[in-house]
Amino acid sequence: METNLVDILKGYVTPDVISKASTMLGESESGVYKGVSASIPTLLSGLVHKSNDSSTMESVMNLINENSSNYDNVLSNLPSLLTGYGNSTALDSGSKLMALLFKNKQSDTTDVIARTSGIKDSSAASLLGMAAPMLLSYFAKSGMTLSSLKSLLSSQKENILSAAPSGLNLGFGSTIDNDIRGKIHDVRKAESSSAKWLIPLLLVGAGLFALFFFSKGCNRKEALPAVATETVDTLTTKTEEVVEEPKDALGNFFKFKLPNGIELNAPEFGIENKLNTWLMDETKVVDKTTWFNFDRLLFDTGKATLRPESQEQLKNMVEILKAYPTVELKLGGYTDNVGDPAFNLKLSGDRAKSVMDEMIKMGIAKDRLESEGYGELFPVASNDTEEGKAQNRRIAVRVTKK
């Protein structure tokens, strides 16, 4: 499998890190995730553009080597870097790295990250300040030499620049934009060359098509609406989110009693049994990483409207909350990566809120529930397969108070 440096570094920013950073910065988890996702390729892009500057690269290597012992706990304790009281040596090295890469463009760079992720400039600066020592720590841990670092940056250039936020200017004019323009120029040049033989071929094809069309008369018109309708249906189906697990994966339905004596009928491995078991276990404590997925929710295609089939599980969840009157929940909505990210983010938020509103209608106090949509963020499986996409389309709950 091809190495992707951006993805490797993003892997250190776990959902727990995102949750802690969200609380510390006063930003949404989705905003923090986007901010980190923009900060990492921004720093790497700076390194790519400085990779032929011997003086700068030697200074970067000095930062990696001189303070390598201070990077030991950085990767495992990233949120501490956001407080300003964390590893001061690592933070100082990170600041020096940014000065080397961005010089007097640091404010503009921070602004690009803030606009890209929808967070405050101060939050973007904090995330960039966390990412810089993270990069140095990773390079130190990997035992990078000047030669191997330059080689790595060269091999990862395309991945890095494609992941960088739009509008990033590194002080030399927008080199990223120049790269993109260069690729477009190459494509257009190839298209121009191909056109010399392609245009005559297309003209011949058009003539044959016209002959066929008129030989059939006007009957062809009747087929056009059917084709259009089929296309719309196909596209709509791709946006459909069915939050339902395969029946075999849920086990057999069985009856169990809640602490207040109410009896529920639910699958052995469904959310109801899992959540009830967790709540009964006194050793389980509230955290920001334990989520439980709904497994029998259905929505109208491309909408946040719950289908009637969802009522059974929603009623069970409401009974569980009534049996544990002090428990509070957060509902999260997620999608796969098919379609427009902005649409997916809104749809996921609307669906999570729809579930929350339905539970409120069933008798749960409003202040015991909250909801947020994360769109295609935080996938739990690969979006390269239909099975993975199905797992990523989900509504989940996290206990925020026990």
The domain spanning residue 325 has which CATH number?
A: 3.30.1330.60
End residue of a domain, out of 220, 236, 252: 236
Question: In the prediction, which pLDDT does 319 show?
Answer: 97
Question: In the prediction, which pLDDT does 80 show?
Answer: 82
Query: Quick check: 384 pLDDT over 50?
Result: yes
Same domain, 199 and 265: no
Question: In the prediction, which pLDDT does 108 show?
Answer: 87
End residue of a domain, out of 173, 198, 217: 173
Report if pTM > 0.85: no
Measured between alpha carbons, how far is 34 from 111 in angstroms, rounded to an integer? 14
User: In total, how many domains does the chain have?
Assistant: 3
Q: Which amino acid is at 138?
A: Y
Q: Is 284 left (phi over 0), alpha (psi -120 to 50) or beta?
A: beta
- Please check whether residue 302 is in contact with residue 247, taking contact to mean a CB–CB distance below 8 angstroms: no
Question: In the prediction, which pLDDT does 211 show?
Answer: 46
Measured between alpha carbons, how far is 57 from 139 in angstroms, rounded to an integer? 13
Looking at per-residue pLDDT, the higher value among 335 and 72 belongs to: 335
Same domain, 193 and 106: no
Which of 370, 369, 377 shows the shortest CA–CA distance to 345?
377
332: CB partners within 8 A, 6+ apart: 291, 352, 371, 372, 373, 374, 395, 396, 397, 398
193: CB partners within 8 A, 6+ apart: none
Q: Which domain covers residue 39, as residue numbers?
A: 5-173
Same domain, 282 and 199: no
Same domain, 273 and 130: no
Range with the poorest average pLDDT among 39-53, 81-95, 216-230: 216-230
Query: Quick check: 243 pLDDT over 60?
Result: no
Same domain, 222 and 268: no
Same domain, 305 and 373: yes
Question: In the prediction, which pLDDT does 222 show?
Answer: 33
Question: In the prediction, which pLDDT does 167 show?
Answer: 83
Same domain, 226 and 261: no
Q: Give me 166's structure tokens.
A: 């739009």
Same domain, 312 and 198: no
How many CB atoms are located within 10 Å of the residue 168 CB?
22
Question: In the prediction, which pLDDT does 291 show?
Answer: 94
Q: What is the mean pLDDT of residues 34-58?
A: 92
Same domain, 343 and 368: yes
Q: Give me 334's structure tokens.
A: 């997620």
The tally of CA atoms less than 13 A away on the side-chain side of residue 341 is 7
Question: In the prediction, which pLDDT does 258 show?
Answer: 95
| HEC-encoded secondary structure of the chain | CCCCHHHHHHCCCCHHHHHHHHHHHCCCHHHHHHHHHHHHHHHHHHHHHHCCCHHHHHHHHHHHHHCHHHHCCCCCCHHHHHCCCCCHHHHHHHHHHHHHHHHHHHHHHHHHHHHHHCCCHHHHHHHHHHHHHHHHHHHHHCCCCHHHHHHHHHHCHHHHHHHCCCCCCCCCCCHHHHHHHHHHHHHHHHHHHHHHHHHHHHHHHHHHHHHHHHHHHHHHHHHHHHHHHHHHHHHHHHHCCEEECCHHHHCCEEEEECCCCCEEEEECCCHHHHHHHHHHCCCCCCCCCCCEECCEEEECCCCCCECHHHHHHHHHHHHHHHHCCCCEEEEEEECCCCCCHHHHHHHHHHHHHHHHHHHHHCCCCHHHEEEEECCCCCCCCCCCCHHHHHHHCEEEEEEEEC
- When pLDDT is cut at 50, 70 and 90, the band that residue 81 belongs to is confident
User: Which residue in the block uniquely carries the two structure tokens 């009693």?
Assistant: 257
Same domain, 231 and 297: no
Same domain, 56 and 163: yes
Query: Quick check: 276 pLDDT over 50?
Result: yes
Q: What angle do CA 375, 379, 382 make, to 5 degrees?
A: 125
Question: In the prediction, which pLDDT does 199 show?
Answer: 43
Q: Average pLDDT of the chain? A: 80
Question: In the prediction, which pLDDT does 41 show?
Answer: 93
Q: What is the mean pLDDT of residues 94-119?
A: 89
Question: In the prediction, which pLDDT does 36 show?
Answer: 92
pLDDT more than 70, % of the chain: 77
Question: In the prediction, which pLDDT does 3 show?
Answer: 67
Q: Describe the crossing of helices 29-50 and 146-155 by its angle, rounded to 10 degrees.
A: 120
Same domain, 29 and 166: yes
In Å, how far are 33, 182, 188, 196 from 193, measured between CA atoms? 43, 16, 9, 6
Q: What is the mean pLDDT of residues 15-39?
A: 89
Looking at per-residue pLDDT, the higher value among 224 and 295 belongs to: 295
